[in-house]
Amino acid sequence: MTIYDRASRHAWWMLGALTVSVLFVAVVDRFYGHSTLAFAAAIVGLVVANRRMLSYNCPHCGKNLFFRGLFVVPWPNRTCGKCGAALDRTRP
């Protein structure tokens, strides 16, 4: 499995985590009223779920697949923005 495939799986994992967080906040809001603790729990859960993002780096130069300059995007690069390596292919 390539680094791009693993990073793509992480992106799908984060979409699921975001969905669960939104549903959690909606359920708490419905049954208990507005609660900042529910929002805080959702944010902490998303940060913890996203901690793996920092480990998806180009094997050649070390640039992270999710960073585009100063911005973080939800989907990884297929090619490295720094060295141009194809990250969606296995090495021969």
pLDDT digits (tens, 9 = 90+) for 26-40: 999 999 988 899 999
Question: What predicted TM-score, i.e. pTM, was given to this entire model?
Answer: 0.84
Q: Say if 35 falls within a structural domain.
A: yes
**Domain count along the chain:** 1
Question: Is 80 part of a structural domain of the chain?
Answer: no
Please indicate, yes or no, if residue 91 is contained in any of the structural domains: no
pLDDT digits (tens, 9 = 90+) for 34-57: 889 999 999 999 999 999 999 999
Would residue 78 count as lying in a domain? no
**For residue 44, is it within any domain?**
yes
Q: List the domain range (segments joined by +) for residue 7.
A: 3-72
Taking the C-alpha atoms of residue 46 and residue 58, their distance in angstroms, rounded to an integer, is 24
Query: Does some domain include residue 68?
Result: yes
Does the residue 40 lie in any domain?
yes
